[in-house]
Amino acid sequence: METEYLKRWRMALGGNAADGTGVTLTVEEQRLDSSLEAVYDSDRRGGLGSSAPKVSRWLGDIREFFPQTVVQVIQRDAIKRLHLDSLLTEKEMLATVVPDVHLVATLMSLGRAIPEKNKEMARQVVRKVVDDLLRKLSAPTQQAVTGALNRSARRRNPRYNEIDWKTTIIKNLKNYQPQYKTVIPEVRIGYGRKCKALKDIILCLDQSGSMGTSVVYSGIFGSVLASLPSVSTRMVVFDTSVVDLTDDLQDPVDLLFGVQLGGGTDIARALTYCQGVITRPQDTVLVLVTDLYEGGDAKEMRKRFASIVASGVQMIVLPALNDDGAPCYDKHHAEYLASLGVPTFACTPDKFPDLMAAALSKQDIGMWVSKNIKEK
């Protein structure tokens, strides 16, 4: 047991002469040690170099030694520490990497640098991540949003195809007829008419480089929301210019490849555009995903914030929509937003469906945050 502990220390310390363990690794353990050394001790050992075949072999090794969740962390560290971004444009690398949200963000940032001949493989990598996220996030989002809107739109004596049967049965249990083994629906409860979107949602995304994973999750949620007939969803992305990607919401992969991560930030311009497409402010939720570092006119940005809030729009500002921990954002602008009654907070993907349900049902978002979001 003591030898095993010493070997772990030997792995952690990296094998310097002064590591003090005095243990010898087996051939297999040396392979594992070398795979970690290539990333975490690259300044002394030379790293992985710039050869795609060599990196591909290394990726194969770490997949052999570690579970996928650990592989994703090591892979992410390697890309960041060893500046392997450019290798992701090569087919051999794309075929070997383990897909995750951070990798998708990196591919989005590479954008046009990916050769045309390799773009289809890059899309396949992104598709794997998108499909996995859709499986995890679609049902909770649909249930939360639809449930919130159904509750707000219920009415008495609805048309047959608008009846909420579960609620109607519960409401009429007192009218149960034992001899007929049935419930007489004296009162019918309906969802309300479904032919028209009950609420408008605008997702406005900062596509500066630091927002990569937040943009990925926002794109997924945007696609799910766009599939719900009870809401009208618009997707807007911006840097120093503004692009409306609403038409791409049907395919989140197309949507994500339509985003160009990097560049400056003009939040005021994005807000001006969003304000121009709002037609019923009292029934609109605007989710602004940005770190609030304004590269444009900060005074104009604040003016737009105040104007949008005064019009009755439910505005939410998220410096991050991911699982990456506490984000960095402009606290001064966040304080100004707080004075307008607009909360600024990081939200994890698992909380976002409930957040949207709360916003659509016009709950106090500040109160929701205090109950659901832990300060980091």
DSSP 263-320: S---HHHHHHHHHHH-S-GGGEEEEEE-----SS-HHHHHHHHHHHHHTT-EEEEES-
pLDDT at 98: 76
Q: Average pLDDT, whole number, for the chain?
A: 82
Q: Does domain 199-372 have CATH number 3.40.50.410?
A: yes
> pLDDT at residue 152 above 60?
no
**Residue 38 to residue 47: CA distance in whole angstroms:** 4
> pLDDT at residue 181 above 90?
no
pLDDT at 195: 44
> pLDDT at residue 200 above 90?
yes
pLDDT band at 78 (very low <50, low <70, confident <90, very high): confident
Can you list the alpha helix ranges (DSSP code H) found in 227-266? 252-257
pLDDT at 139: 87
Q: Order of strands, edge to edge, in the sheet holding 242-244?
A: 242-244, 231-238, 199-206, 284-289, 314-318
Place of tokens 């992701």: 88
Cα angle vertex 226, ends 192, 133, to 5°?
120
- If you average pLDDT over each of 118-127, 186-195, 204-213, 293-302, which comes out highest? 293-302
Q: Are 347 and 373 in contact (CB under 8 A)?
A: yes
pLDDT at 278: 96
Please state the domain extents for the chain. Answer: 2-98, 155-190, 199-372
DSSP string, 183-219: E--SS-EE----SS-SEEEEEEEE-SGGGHHHHHHHH
Q: Kindly state the tokens that stand for 188.
A: 């019918």
pLDDT band at 13 (very low <50, low <70, confident <90, very high): low
pLDDT top residue among 84 and 230: 230
**Residue 260 to residue 243: CA distance in whole angstroms:** 10
pLDDT band at 190 (very low <50, low <70, confident <90, very high): confident
pLDDT band at 188 (very low <50, low <70, confident <90, very high): confident
> pLDDT at residue 50 above 60?
no
What number is the average pLDDT over the span 42-52? 50
